[in-house]
Amino acid sequence: MRPVTQALLVANIAVFLLQQISGDWLIIWFALWPFHTPPEYGVQFLPWQVLSYGFLHGSLAHIGFNMLALYMFGSSIEQLLGTRRFLIYYLGCVFAAAATQLIVQSLLNPAPVPTVGASGGVFGLLLAYGLFFPRRTIMLIFPPIPMPAWVFVTLYGSVELVLGITGTQSGVAHFAHLGGMLGGFLLIRQWRRRPPY
């Protein structure tokens, strides 16, 4: 396993364990809260939350799926991009997901709920994997269907878009996932214009 991928796995698991013993303290200060959160909630948007939220998770299944994806795709992308650029890429996707989520929440103006999870970074990794290794086979867990990486990424992104627009599966930040993919696409496009990439 590559060093940044390993460090991200360790950091996410460590923070999740800390969440289990700290109560709501980490959520209050480090989850991503909307801009319009009323003062009576006792929480507010703070600048560092655009990155810190990506190390918090809401459940064991939540962190389990995210860390499985990070483990599966992270090392291949890190080996391709290099350690420094991989870290920039991952955090850039986390930031882009946060920005997208904040914009959507501002437009829809729902009840202020926090956003947590590494999914923005993970979806950025999925996009990169589909772009750089389009013909590698990915086996779904359920149903167990093998498919090329580019097909998997395209289908997954399309499902997220439909779920986000229709409001299906509430409680999941579908537009943040798409924002992570968009941020990854823009970074890759920018880097492709610069040698020696």
Give pLDDT, residue 196. Answer: 56
119 labelled catalytic: yes
User: For the segment 21-49, what is each residue's pLDDT rounded down to a tens digit?
Assistant: 988 889 999 999 998 888 777 788 999 99
pTM over 0.75: yes
Closest CA to 164 of 110, 91, 90: 110
> Using an 8 Å Cβ cutoff, are 158 and 68 in contact?
no
Q: Is 126 exposed, middle or buried (0-12, 13-18, 19+ CB in 10 A)?
A: buried
Active site residue: 52, 57, 174, 177, which one?
177
Q: What is the CATH number of the domain that holds 173?
A: 1.20.1540.10
177 labelled catalytic: yes
**197 inside domain:** no
Give pLDDT, residue 85. Answer: 95
**116 inside domain:** yes
Determine the structural domain holding residue 24 and report its residue range. 3-192
pLDDT < 50 stretches in the chain = none
Active site residue: 76, 119, 158, 170, which one?
119
Domain count, the chain: 1
Give pLDDT, residue 170. Answer: 67
**51 inside domain:** yes
Give pLDDT, residue 97. Answer: 96
**47 inside domain:** yes
The two tokens of residue 19 are 């969440």
3-state secondary structure of 80: helix
